[in-house]
C-alpha cells in the first residue's frame, strides 16, 4: 500500500525496474512466491501490514463475537451445543442470501430485491404443499419456487443489462413489487396470510425438516469423513501435480495446513452437533441445513472459480471494457448472474420458511437483504466489483448470525440489533471504499 | 499458439501488404474521425503511425481491431476482401491489439488476463495448468522475466510490466498483425526500451507490427515504415528512410512537408497527397 501510494505521487519517476519489482512483491499473494511455511507466514504478515488482509478480519471478528457473547450471555450459554447448533441454523439463511448477493456484487452491481425474492420463493413453496388446498408434492413445490425466483432474476437482469437501467433502482423497485407479490401469494387460500408447515403430511414435513431435520450421528461422522477425505485428496493431488510440473503452487506444509484446518473445523462442527442438546429425550446429529448450505457453497464456488463463466464474471467486475474486447458477451453473463442471484435467494427463502415453520406476512425482506450485503462485505467482498468469494458469504453470514443470536440471548429486542448490524455494515463498506481508493491511486499511476 | 516460438526465416519482407485498407471513413455523430484513409501494413515490418493528438490514430486502430465498424471503405487481408465487424473477426484473421487504455483486468492475474476470452478447458472446467505453462513459455520467449510470479494480479505490476503482459497477450495467438497504441506513453526510459525491443522481436518473427507514437525518438528507433495521420486523413506513408524528423513534424502539424529526403517509391509507398 505504502509503495503504491509513493508511486502515485511520482508516476514518471520509476525508471528503476528493481524498485518496481520490490514494490510489487508487497502486493503479491504470499502463497505465490513462498517456498516454505515460514517464508509464507512472513510474506503474509507483510501483506496484512500493507492493508490487504483477506479473510483475517472476519475470522478475528468471529472470535471477538464469541468471546464477548460467551462472557456476557446469561449462564454463558453462547458456546453451549444447543445454542451453537441454533446459531448455525439462524446463520444459514444469512449465509445463503449473502452467497446470492455475491453474484451481483462481483459485477459491481447490487440486488436489493433478494430478501423479498426469498420471501416469494418461500411463500410459493409453503402454499403449494398445503394439504387442504393445492396438495403439491414437496419436490414440485420446491422446483416451482426456485423457477419463480429464477424468473424474477431473469426479468430484473434483462432490464438492467438490455435497457441499461441501474441495478440499484431496478431492484429497489423489485423490492417493493416482490413485497407485494409475497403478500399476494400469502393471501391466497384460507390461511389469512400465515400458511404453516405444521402437521403430519409428508410434504409439509419435508419442507419443515430442511432446517430442523437432523442426520443420524453415525451417518454424520461417516459422511463428514468421506467429504473431508475427498477434499483432502483433491487439494493434495492438485497442489502436488502443480509443484511437480513446476507451476505456481503453495509449499507442501501449507497444503497440509489447509487440509488439517478443514478437517478440524469439520470434526468440531460434527462433534458439537452430535452432542445431545435436548433437555428431555434425545436431539442430536447434524442438521440437514448444514449439508444444504455446503452444497450451495460448493456448486457456486466451482462455478465461479473453475469455469469460463466464473472467470468472465470476475473480468467484468474488474474491467468490463477489457472483457468486452476479449469477446465476452457482457449482457448474457450479467443476466445470468442476476438469475443465479435470485435463484440462490429462493434457496434461502425455502430455508427461511422452514426456519419459521411456515411463512408470514411479517417477513422483512428489506432487513434480510441488508444483512446479506453486510455479511458479504464484512467478509471481504467488494461493492465495487471484481473482488469476492462465495466463502465470504459463509463467514459473513456467521458473523451476522452471531450478532443476531448473541443479542437474542441477552434478551435485547430488534432496536439495538438493527443499530449494531447497521454499524457493522457501515464499518465494512468504509474499509472497502478506503482500500479501493488506495488501490486505484496506485494503478492510476501505473497506466 | 506455439507458432510464436518459431522464427519465420523466409523473406521477412513480403511484397504485398498483409493488410490493405482502402478508403476508410468513420464518424461519431457529427465528428468525422477518419476520411478516406488508405493504409498498408507489411509482414516483417514495423509501421509507425504518427499524428497529433486527436488525429484519429486510436480510431483507425480500433476500426482495424473490429471495436468500431467503419462507415466506408474496405479491408484486404492477404489480398482478399474481408469484413472486420467485431473483435472476434479481427482475432480470427490474426489481428491483435494493445490498446492505449490498457485492456487488462486488474483483479485477474497475468495468466488469466493473457487467456481472457480464450480460456482452455478440460472437461468443461478451466485448464489452469495448461494455460499457466503456455503463458510462461510466451513470456520467456519474449524475455519478459521481471515479473515475480505469473500468478500475481495485474494490479501489482509496474507500468512496463503491464505493457509487456498486454503485448505478450497479443502475440500468444499465432497473430500476424500486432498493433500497439501508444505503448510507451506512460513509461520511463528503461521500460520504454523494454517495449520497443519487444516490438522489434515481433517483427523479426515475421509479424506485421503497427506502433502508434508521437514520440519521434521511438518512431525513428523502431520504424521500417512511417505513416502520418493529420485531422483524420492519411497524408503520407513511406519507408522510414524517406523521412527525417523535420518532415514528420511538418506532416503531423500541417499535413504537408516541403522537405524532400531521398525518395523511394519501390514498395508502393504513397507519397504525400495533403
Ligand atoms: N467514441 C468516440 N465518440 C466520439 N468521438 C470520438 C470517439 N473516439 C474518438 N473520437 C474523436 O475522434 C477523433 C480522433 O480521436 P483519436 O483517434 O482518439 O485520436 P488520437 O490520434 O489522439 O488517438 C477525436 O476528435 C475524438 O474526439
Ligand atoms: Mg490515441
Is residue A323 domain-shared with residue A196, that is, in the same domain? yes
pTM confidence score: 0.85
pLDDT band of residue B7 (cuts 50, 70, 90) is very low
CB of A325 closer than 8 Å to CB of B87: yes
Is residue A178 domain-shared with residue A229, that is, in the same domain? no
Distance, CA B194 to ligand 1 centroid (Å)? 28
Is residue A280 domain-shared with residue A329, that is, in the same domain? no
Is residue A93 domain-shared with residue A182, that is, in the same domain? yes
Q: How far is A99 from chain B (nearest CA, A)?
A: 20
Average pLDDT score, chain B: 85
Strand B225-230 to strand B46-50: parallel, antiparallel, or no bridges (unpaired)? Answer: parallel
Instruction: Select from A306, A311, A321 the Cβ nearest to the Cβ of B112.
Output: A311
pLDDT at A13: 35
Residue A437 located in a structural domain:
no
Is residue A90 domain-shared with residue A152, that is, in the same domain? yes
Q: Measuring CA to CA, which residue among A426, A431, A390, A399 is closest to residue A51? A: A431
B132/A325 Cβ within 8 A: no
Residue with CA closest to ligand 1 atom 24: B54
Residue A438 located in a structural domain:
no
Q: Measuring CA to CA, which residue among A146, A276, A116 is closest to residue A207? A: A146
Give, in degrees to the nearest 5, the angle at Cα B151 between B149 and B153.
105
Is residue A81 domain-shared with residue A142, that is, in the same domain? yes
pLDDT at B270: 45
Q: Which atom of ligand 1 is nearest to the CA of B62?
A: 17
Is residue A197 domain-shared with residue A114, that is, in the same domain? yes
B87/A318 Cβ within 8 A: no
Upper half-sphere CA count for residue A394 (Cβ side, 13 Å) = 17
Is residue A247 domain-shared with residue A374, that is, in the same domain? no
Tell me the per-residue pLDDT of B58-111, one tens digit each, with 9 for 90 and over.
999 999 999 899 999 999 999 999 999 988 899 899 999 988 777 899 999 999
Residue A6 located in a structural domain:
no
Task: Write the ipTM.
Answer: 0.84
Rounded Cα distance between B109 and B154, Å, is 5
Is residue A200 domain-shared with residue A255, that is, in the same domain? no
Percent residues over pLDDT 90 in chain B? 51
Nearest CA in chain A to B107: A318
pLDDT at A66: 93
Is residue A88 domain-shared with residue A194, that is, in the same domain? yes
Non-local (6+) Cβ contacts of A393 within 8 A are: A95, A96, A98, A99, A100, A101, A102, A297, A375, A376, A379, A381
Non-local (6+) Cβ contacts of A173 within 8 A are: none
Q: Has residue B249 got a pLDDT over 70? A: yes
Domain end position, chosen among A286, A319, A339: A286
Residue A258 located in a structural domain:
yes
Q: Which atom of ligand 1 is nearest to the CA of B68?
A: 1
Nearest CA in chain A to B147: A21
Give, in degrees to the nearest 5, the angle at Cα A103 between A100 and A104.
100
Q: The domain B19-103+176-254 belongs to what CATH superfamily?
A: P-loop containing nucleotide triphosphate hydrolases (3.40.50.300)
Is residue A106 domain-shared with residue A152, that is, in the same domain? yes
Distance, CA B56 to ligand 1 centroid (Å)? 6
> Which segments within A251-321 are labelled E, that is strand?
none
Residue with CA closest to ligand 1 atom 6: B28
Burial of B42 (0-12, 13-18, 19+ CB in 10 A): buried
Spans of all domains in chain B: 19-103+176-254
Residue A442 located in a structural domain:
no
For A81-112, give one letter per residue: b (16+ CB within 10 A) or e: bebbbbbbbbbbbbbbbbbbbbbbbbbbbbbb
Counted domains in chain A: 2
Is residue A90 domain-shared with residue A220, that is, in the same domain? no
pLDDT at B152: 87
Residue A52 located in a structural domain:
no
Identify any residues that bridge with B234 across adjacent strands, giving them in sequence order.
Answer: B229
State which residues of chain A have pLDDT below 50: 1-26, 441-447
Residue A157 is part of which domain span? 77-206+303-427
pLDDT at A31: 57
Q: Measuring CA to CA, which residue among B113, B72, B67, B119 is closest to residue B90? A: B67
B117/A323 Cβ within 8 A: yes
CB of B52 closer than 8 Å to CB of B73: no
CB of A303 closer than 8 Å to CB of A314: no
pLDDT at A166: 95
Q: Has residue B261 got a pLDDT over 80? A: no
Amino acid at each position: 500500500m505504502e509503495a503504491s501510494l509513493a508511486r502515485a505521487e511520482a508516476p514518471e519517476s520509476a525508471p528503476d525496474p528493481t524498485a518496481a519489482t520490490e514494490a510489487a512483491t508487497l502486493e503479491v499473494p504470499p502463497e505465490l512466491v513462498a517456498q516454505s511455511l515460514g517464508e509464507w507466514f512472513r510474506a503474509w504478515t507483510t501483506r496484512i501490514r500493507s492493508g490487504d488482509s483477506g479473510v483475517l478480519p472476519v475470522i478475528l471478528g468471529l472470535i471477538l463475537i464469541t468471546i464477548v457473547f460467551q462472557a456476557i450471555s446469561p449462564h454463558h450459554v453462547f458456546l453451549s451445543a444447543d445454542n451453537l447448533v441454533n446459531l448455525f441454523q439462524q446463520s444459514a439463511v444469512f449465509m445463503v442470501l449473502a452467497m446470492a448477493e455475491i453474484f451481483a456484487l462481483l459485477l459491481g452491481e447490487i440486488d436489493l430485491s433478494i430478501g423479498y425474492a426469498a420471501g416469494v420463493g418461500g411463500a410459493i413453496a409453503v402454499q403449494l404443499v398445503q394439504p387442504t388446498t393445492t396438495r403439491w408434492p414437496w419436490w414440485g413445490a420446491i422446483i416451482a419456487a426456485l423457477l419463480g425466483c429464477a424468473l424474477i432474476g431473469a426479468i430484473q437482469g434483462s432490464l438492467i443489462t438490455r435497457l441499461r437501467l441501474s441495478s440499484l433502482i431496478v431492484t429497489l423497485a423489485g423490492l417493493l413489487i416482490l413485497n407485494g407479490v409475497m403478500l399476494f401469494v400469502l393471501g391466497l387460500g384460507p390461511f389469512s396470510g400465515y400458511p404453516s408447515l405444521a402437521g403430519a403430511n409428508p410434504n409439509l414435513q419435508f419442507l419443515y425438516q430442511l432446517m430442523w431435520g437432523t442426520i443420524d450421528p453415525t451417518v454424520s461422522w461417516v459422511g463428514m469423513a468421506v467429504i473431508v477425505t475427498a477434499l483432502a485428496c483433491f487439494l493434495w493431488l492438485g497442489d502436488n501435480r502443480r509443484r511437480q510440473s513446476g507451476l505456481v503452487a503453495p509449499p507442501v506444509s501449507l497444503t497440509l495446513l489447509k487440509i488439517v484446518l478443514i478437517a478440524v473445523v469439520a470434526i468440531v462442527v460434527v462433534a458439537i452437533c452430535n452432542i445431545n442438546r435436548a433437555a428431555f429425550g434425545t436431539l442430536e446429529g447434524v442438521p440437514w441445513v448444514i449439508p444444504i448450505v455446503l452444497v450451495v457453497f460448493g456448486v457456486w464456488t466451482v462455478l465461479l472459480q473453475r469455469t469460463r463463466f466464473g472467470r468472465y464474471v470476475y473480468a467484468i467486475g474488474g474491467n468490463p471494457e477489457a472483457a468486452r474486447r476479449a469477446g465476452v458477451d457482457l449482457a448474457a453473463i450479467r443476466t445470468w448472474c442476476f438469475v443465479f442471484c435470485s435463484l440462490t435467494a429462493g434457496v434461502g427463502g425455502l430455508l427461511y420458511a422452514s426456519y419459521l415453520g411456515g411463512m408470514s406476512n411479517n417477513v422483512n425482506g428489506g432487513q434480510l437483504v441488508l444483512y446479506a450485503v453486510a455479511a458479504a462485505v464484512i467478509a471481504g467482498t467488494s461493492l465495487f466489483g471484481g473482488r469476492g468469494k462465495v466463502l465470504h458469504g459463509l463467514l459473513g453470514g456467521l458473523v451476522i448470525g452471531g450478532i443476531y443470536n448473541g443479542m437474542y440471548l441477552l434478551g435485547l429486542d430488534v432496536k439495538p440489533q438493527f443499530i449494531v448490524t447497521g454499524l457493522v455494515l457501515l464499518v465494512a463498506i468504509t474499509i472497502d471504499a478506503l482500500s479501493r481508493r488506495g488501490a486505484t491511486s496506485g494503478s492510476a499511476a501505473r497506466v | 499458439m506455439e507458432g510464436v516460438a518459431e522464427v519465420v526465416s523466409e523473406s521477412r519482407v513480403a511484397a504485398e501488404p498483409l493488410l490493405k485498407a482502402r478508403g476508410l471513413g468513420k464518424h461519431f455523430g457529427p465528428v468525422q474521425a477518419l476520411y478516406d484513409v488508405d493504409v498498408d501494413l507489411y509482414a516483417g515490418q514495423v509501421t509507425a503511425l504518427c499524428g497529433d493528438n486527436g488525429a484519429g490514430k486510436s480510431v483507425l486502430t480500433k476500426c482495424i481491431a473490429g471495436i468500431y465498424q467503419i462507415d466506408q471503405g474496405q479491408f484486404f487481408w492477404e489480398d482478399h476482401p474481408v469484413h472486420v465487424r467485431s473483435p472476434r473477426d479481427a482475432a480470427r484473421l490474426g489481428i491483435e491489439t494493445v490498446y492505449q487504455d490498457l485492456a487488462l483486468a486488474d483483479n485477474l492475474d497475468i495468466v488469466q488476463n493473457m487467456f481472457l476470452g480464450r480460456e482452455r478447458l478440460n472437461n468443461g472446467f478451466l485448464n489452469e495448468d495448461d494455460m499457466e505453462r503456455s503463458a510462461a513459455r510466451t513470456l520467456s520467449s519474449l524475455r519478459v522475466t521481471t515479473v515475480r510470479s505469473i500468478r500475481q494480479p495485474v494490479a501489482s505490476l509496474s507500468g512496463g510490466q503491464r505493457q509487456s503482459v498486454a503485448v505478450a497477450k497479443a502475440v500468444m495467438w499465432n497473430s500476424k498483425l500486432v498493433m500497439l497504441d501508444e505503448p510507451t506513453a506512460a513509461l520511463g526510459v528503461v521500460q520504454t526500451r523494454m517495449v520497443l525491443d519487444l516490438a522489434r522481436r515481433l517483427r523479426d518473427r515475421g509479424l506485421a507490427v503497427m506502433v502508434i507514437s508521437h514520440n519521434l525518438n521511438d518512431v525513428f528507433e523502431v520504424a521500417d515504415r512511417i505513416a502520418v495521420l493529420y485531422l483524420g486523413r492519411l497524408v503520407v506513408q513511406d519507408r522510414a528512410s524517406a523521412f527525417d524528423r523535420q518532415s514528420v513534424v511538418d506532416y503531423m502539424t500541417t499535413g504537408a512537408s516541403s522537405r524532400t529526403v531521398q525518395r523511394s517509391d519501390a514498395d508502393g509507398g504513397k507519397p504525400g497527397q495533403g
